[in-house]
Structure 1
Amino acid sequence: MLPVAEARARLLGALRPLPAETVTLTDALGRVLAEPLTARLTQPPFAASSMDGWAVRAADVAEVPAALRRIGEASAGHAFPGRVGPGEAVRIFTGAPLPGGADSVVMQEDAEEDGDRVLIRRSVAEGRFVRPAGHDFSAGDTLLPEGRRLTARDVALAAGANWPWLRVRRRPRVAVLATGDEIALPGEPLGPNQIVSSNALGLCAMVTALGGTALNLGVAGDRAESVAALASAAAGCDLLVTTGGASKGDYDFVGDVLGGGGLTLLFDGVAMRPGKAVKFGHAALEGAGRVPLLGLPGNPVSTGICALLFLKPALLALQGLTPGEDTVTARLGAPLRANGPNQDHLQATLAREAGGELVATPFARQDTALMSLLAKADCLILRPPHAPPAEPGDRVEILPLSGGAVSL
């Protein structure tokens, strides 16, 4: 079986970024830019006051107190039409254009108004409390690079740069198919030998969280015709993800049925625990052509961990992003036995010591059917094949269980 890193490399090598599309700015949050974002204007477009106060010539207030003559007012959206000459001042408010002739602003707290006279009590240097034109950015400046996943701050920046729409990568369309006679949908009556389907809904949620659009195909029974019929609805999707039926048992039909004589597998089994039955290739669907297929195991924890290691990078690659190494190191909070021949992924809690060190403590139980523990886990402890025993305080590599499409 392939090492995890090699399997991941084969998966990413088979995927290409999806085409670009144009969306309105209100729909841009979490999307990935397909081209750099450049400024369509200069911001601010004019020299503007950063304070409420008085627009003056710095030379006129070099010695204080200084008595000046009020000649008008400027507010945001309303410029003073004249010029400030020697001995003159204009009442000005934050964001208002700086009048011609003025070169600085005195804060209103440092002045006293009496009719058309203004007494300035504190001198200012030239340019004080003035934001020059282009202080933020100038027309043509590159503000955001291609491949940036847009945050709320980015959306605000794009709006300020006068973009009502953006070119972004199309959302990956991912079909999710659960298999197994033992599976029933949440809320349905359960037969005497059935359990509730959780994997498909969890996978759909992950697809959404990572910027894709999920299509839940439902639950296929342990019959070849059932798997084939539901899988055909994946036509037009960018990826088909199955859960269950990925092993070699008598009722595991995913490989045989979705191949249709044309299944091309880039890997079938990975040297990892849990989840070694994961597979990836291209399925030949009846009436739907060839679709990339990621086959995941059926045990809930195995499904979740395999999705983190393979589905997540697949979704990033389809959006034009380069999946990075998300792992960090932490101190071990409990002893671990020597590892076997497969890369292990242990669910663990994560805490920070008083000195700032991260401490990862694995759960005592690591059963692949325990969904409640996976929900409580903060990270996975990654143990390479044949790792020796480890003691509390030893350094270990961890994969934090966080990160999605929506960031502030």
Structure 2
Amino acid sequence: MISFDEAVATVREAATSLGAERVPLREAHRRVLADAVVARVSAPPADVSAMDGYAVRDADLQSLPARLPIAGESFAGQGFKGQLPPAQCVRIFTGAAVPAGADRVVVQEVVRREGDEAIFSEMPGAGRHIRRAGSDFRRGETLLDVGVLLRPGALVTAAGADVAELTVWRRPRVAILGTGDELVEPGTACEREGCIPESVSFGVAALAAEVGAEVVETLRLPDDLSRMRSAAARSLDGADVVVVTGGASVGERDFAKTMWDALGLELLFSKVAIKPGKPVWLGRVNDKLVIGLPGNPTSALVTSRLLMVPLLHGLAGRSPSDALVWKRLPLAAPLGPTGSRETFSRAFVEAGKVRLFDHQDSSSQKVLAAATLLVRRPPGEEPVPAGALLEVLDF
């Protein structure tokens, strides 16, 4: 049995990116760049107006009021042709190209129009209301570096650079195999004596999707070693990571590891000294990874958050460390001592302080709906008073 930090180090070493691929911009959300984005255009491509108003020369406003004929109009995408004639102005709209020769845009609110003439009665302020060509970025400039997670703002930047496709790290493909004779599809347990709804896979799949993985299969398996071995072999064909839930203890029907024996499972670790979740394990079959989670819902979701999520981060081209950003918050009420294992308790924030749920059983499900934090405490820690700062992780 290894420590939590040792398990994280093993995950970090195993979590190497899966290779790059080109995808359309519209399919790149939450992907990670494998190649930098370089601008193919400048933005703006020309001097453009920042306001609706009139493009003028400063020299034509030296004597006020000034009455200037309107030489034409400039719209975004359809600018005024030619140079601004002397002693005239051009009606211009936001985003439109500023005519050559114009020094500024006077906002329409301070201009009076009479027919084909514009009357300027007051001296414009210091603002010229012109966005200069390339003031945002220039053609050939690197706008997004390798490793950037493509969130909505980054997608706007990439599109503005006139890029239609992006080179990104491939998304990890995840198969989830839930084991246990007692598990049935939610909605049917009330009709079958001795059965319970299979709930763990829904949380595990959601966590995987949140970090950009693609869940390619979710399968419930009875505690039948022959069927489990067949399912294990098939799952490797389409997945980079196989998540096995349940069957990780030492009972007569706990086959979570045994089902992989014929496929050459190499265990990277088999137990971790944490509470809840001690039976969690990680292994490798050729170039595929297999992570085993406890069957109890809280244990499964906690170990998914602590170990599966960093693993998927690394496979998707992100740093596994980005998944484990700890912060320190004050404790709302005193806590008793911890036992022999590092403890991760479910908690929430109340009035800026951390409050643990009274119910911390590894099989609980109701608490999971309200828990927003995991509180980390070392093994053998003495009682902690209210107000003490504790390490917490978003959950």
Q: What TM-score do you get using the length of structure 2 for normalisation? A: 0.94
2:22 matched residue in structure 1: 22
Tell me the number of residue pairs that the alignment of Structure 1 and Structure 2 aligns.
391
2:298 matched residue in structure 1: 301
- Alignment map for 1:192-211 (pairs within 5 Å): 192-211=193-212
Structure 1 residues 323 and 122, CA gap change in structure 2 (3 angstroms)? farther
Would the aligned equivalents of 1:327 and 1:398 in 2 still touch at CA under 8 Å? yes
Please give the alpha-carbon distance, in whole angstroms, between the structure 2 residues aligned to 1:263 and 1:77: 61
Structure 1 residues 86 and 251, CA gap change in structure 2 (3 angstroms)? same
Q: Which moved more, 1:272-281 or 1:82-91?
A: 82-91
Partner SS state of residue 381, structure 1: strand
Q: What code does the residue aligned with 1:84 have?
A: L
Q: String of CA shifts for 1:215-269, please: whole Å, max 9, x gaps.
A: 3341221121121122122123111110001112221112122122722111111
Please give the alpha-carbon distance, in whole angstroms, between the structure 1 residues aligned to 2:119 and 2:263: 91
Would the aligned equivalents of 2:232 and 2:259 in 1 still touch at CA under 8 Å? no
Would the aligned equivalents of 1:380 and 1:398 in 2 still touch at CA under 8 Å? yes
1:382 matched residue in structure 2: 376
Please give the alpha-carbon distance, in whole angstroms, between the structure 2 residues aligned to 1:134 and 1:198: 53
Alpha-carbon distance, 1:126 to partner: 7.8
- Alignment map for 1:96-175 (pairs within 5 Å): 96-124=96-124, 128-175=128-175
- Alignment map for 1:188-337 (pairs within 5 Å): 188=188, 190-234=191-235, 235-260=237-262, 262-283=264-285, 291-324=288-321, 325-337=324-336
Q: What code does the residue aligned with 1:152 have?
A: P
1:404 matched residue in structure 2: none
Q: After the TM superposition, which parts of structure 1 deviate over 6 Å for at least 4 consecutive aligned residues?
A: none
Q: String of CA shifts for 1:148-206, please: whole Å, max 9, x gaps.
A: 22122222222221112211111110111011111112233553222111112221122
Please give the alpha-carbon distance, in whole angstroms, between the structure 2 residues aligned to 1:102 and 1:115: 21
Q: Percentage identity across aligned positions? A: 38
Q: String of CA shifts for 1:77-118, please: whole Å, max 9, x gaps.
A: 222223224322111111111111111111111112223432
Please give the alpha-carbon distance, in whole angstroms, between the structure 2 residues aligned to 1:343 and 1:193: 34
1:286 matched residue in structure 2: none
1:365 matched residue in structure 2: 359
Please give the alpha-carbon distance, in whole angstroms, between the structure 2 residues aligned to 1:389 and 1:198: 34
Please give the alpha-carbon distance, in whole angstroms, between the structure 2 residues aligned to 1:397 and 1:328: 6
* Candidates 372, 385, 388, aligned match of 1:391: 385
Q: Say whether residues 1:88 and 2:82 are aligned partners.
A: no
**Structure 2 unaligned regions, length at least 5:** none
Structure 1 residues 81 and 96, CA gap change in structure 2 (3 angstroms)? same
Q: String of CA shifts for 1:260-304, please: whole Å, max 9, x gaps.
A: 272211111101000011111113xxxxx5521101111000000
Partner SS state of residue 60, structure 1: helix
Would the aligned equivalents of 2:374 and 2:392 in 1 still touch at CA under 8 Å? yes
Please give the alpha-carbon distance, in whole angstroms, between the structure 1 residues aligned to 2:91 and 2:254: 79
Would the aligned equivalents of 1:204 and 1:215 in 2 still touch at CA under 8 Å? no
- Alignment map for 1:349-360 (pairs within 5 Å): 349-351=348-350, 353=351, 358-360=352-354
Partner SS state of residue 371, structure 1: coil
- Alignment map for 1:54-73 (pairs within 5 Å): 54-73=54-73
Q: What code does the residue aligned with 1:386 have?
A: G
Partner SS state of residue 188, structure 2: coil
Please give the alpha-carbon distance, in whole angstroms, between the structure 2 residues aligned to 1:373 and 1:51: 53
2:338 matched residue in structure 1: 339
Q: What TM-score do you get using the length of structure 1 for normalisation? A: 0.92
Alpha-carbon distance, 1:48 to partner: 0.7
Please give the alpha-carbon distance, in whole angstroms, between the structure 2 residues aligned to 1:328 and 1:309: 15
**Structure 1 unaligned regions, length at least 5:** 284-288, 402-408
How big is the alpha-carbon RMSD for the aligned residues of Structure 1 and Structure 2?
1.7
Please give the alpha-carbon distance, in whole angstroms, between the structure 2 residues aligned to 1:145 and 1:213: 24
Q: What code does the residue aligned with 1:368 have?
A: S
Q: What code does the residue aligned with 1:267 have?
A: F
Alpha-carbon distance, 1:380 to partner: 1.0
Q: Which moved more, 1:271-280 or 1:203-212?
A: 203-212
Please give the alpha-carbon distance, in whole angstroms, between the structure 1 residues aligned to 2:393 and 2:137: 38
Would the aligned equivalents of 2:233 and 2:263 in 1 still touch at CA under 8 Å? no
Q: What code does the residue aligned with 1:371 have?
A: Q
Structure 1 residues 304 and 97, CA gap change in structure 2 (3 angstroms)? same
